Amino acid sequence: MARIIWTHQASKDLEQHYLYVAEQSQRYAEALVERIINAIERLEDFPLSGRVVPEFELYHIREVIVSNYRVVYRLKAEHVEVITIHHSSRPLLF
């Protein structure tokens, strides 16, 4: 079972996405955050379940897609590091 570690950037991203969506619907924003967190928690048991990020083509940089968001993470020996939560309409840069 892999331990999940959130980077400061990923935490900040999630908060910003929540605030943006909540401007239109707080209920939908809460549901979105819950789905993203659930997807990340599944990585504890299935760290290889995400696909390799196509922009980088590195085995250890992976992503899971939740709605229009890309949850990008890095595989480490003992844990999974959530790098960023990124809206898919924007280019992925980090």
CATH superfamily ID and name for 3-87 = RelE-like (3.30.2310.20)
Please report the beta strands in 1-94, taking only residues with DSSP state E, as ranges in sequence order.
3-6, 51-52, 61-66, 69-75, 79-87
26-42 and 8-22 helices, crossing angle to 10°: 150
The residue ranking higher by pLDDT, 61 or 1, is 61
CA 87 to chain centre: 10
Instruction: Locate the domains of the chain by residue range.
Output: 3-87
pLDDT at 91 over 80: no
Q: pTM of the prediction? A: 0.93
Q: Provide the pLDDT for residue 94.
A: 62
* Rounded Cα–Cα distance for residues 77 and 94 (Å): 22
Q: What is the pLDDT of residues 34-56, one digit of tens each?
A: 999 999 999 999 999 999 999 89
Q: Provide the pLDDT for residue 9.
A: 97
* Rounded Cα–Cα distance for residues 82 and 9 (Å): 9
